[in-house]
């Protein structure tokens, strides 16, 4: 089973998506978009940028937990990960996005 994008409506009426690995774990969460087509464009941006060299920016939060941000070529954030307890786990998360995003199907939960 491959990974998938879950496209859904947030409580505030805006659209967002999660990229899930084959095991169902969320590996990337989008920002919120005002329209569904904008969110769909965001998914395409994740597909394109997930395989681009230098697209992942690694950071640590105030508790020292690692996370990553996937950026488009213009520097805009297109998604971010959960917080990881170790750098190794975070690196696995990046590899999972690279592996799953390009071919992931979209499951539209807004219908």
Confidence of residue 111 (pLDDT cuts 50, 70, 90): confident
> Under a CB-based contact definition with an 8 Å cutoff, are residues 19 and 93 in contact?
no
84 - beta bridge partners?
A: 66
User: Does the residue 111 lie in any domain?
Assistant: no
Output the six-digit token pair for 40. 């769909």
> Total structural domains in the chain?
1
In angstroms, rounded to a whole number, what is the distance separating the alpha carbons of residues 31 and 38?
A: 11
CA dihedral defined by 27, 70, 18, 62, rounded to 10 degrees?
70
User: Does the residue 81 lie in any domain?
Assistant: yes
**pLDDT (tens digit per residue) in 64-85:** 999 999 999 999 999 999 999 9
**pLDDT (tens digit per residue) in 22-54:** 999 999 999 999 999 999 999 999 999 999 999
In angstroms, rounded to a whole number, what is the distance separating the alpha carbons of residues 76 and 95?
A: 20
Question: What CATH number is attached to the domain comprising 30?
Answer: 2.30.29.80
**Whole domain around residue 64: which residue ranges?**
4-106
Neighbours of 81 (CB within 10 A): 24
Confidence of residue 1 (pLDDT cuts 50, 70, 90): low
């Amino acid at each position: 089973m491959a990974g998938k994008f879950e496209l859904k409506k947030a409580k505030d009426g805006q659209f967002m998506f999660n990229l899930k690995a084959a095991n169902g774990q969320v590996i990337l969460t989008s920002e919120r978009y005002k329209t569904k087509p904008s969110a769909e464009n965001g998914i395409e941006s994740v597909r394109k940028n997930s395989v681009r060299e230098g697209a992942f920016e690694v950071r640590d939060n105030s508790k020292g937990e690692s996370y990553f941000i996937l950026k488009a070529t213009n520097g805009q954030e297109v998604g971010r990960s959960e917080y990881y307890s170790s750098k190794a786990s975070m690196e696995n998360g990046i590899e999972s996005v690279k592996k799953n995003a390009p071919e992931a199907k979209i499951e539209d939960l807004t219908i």
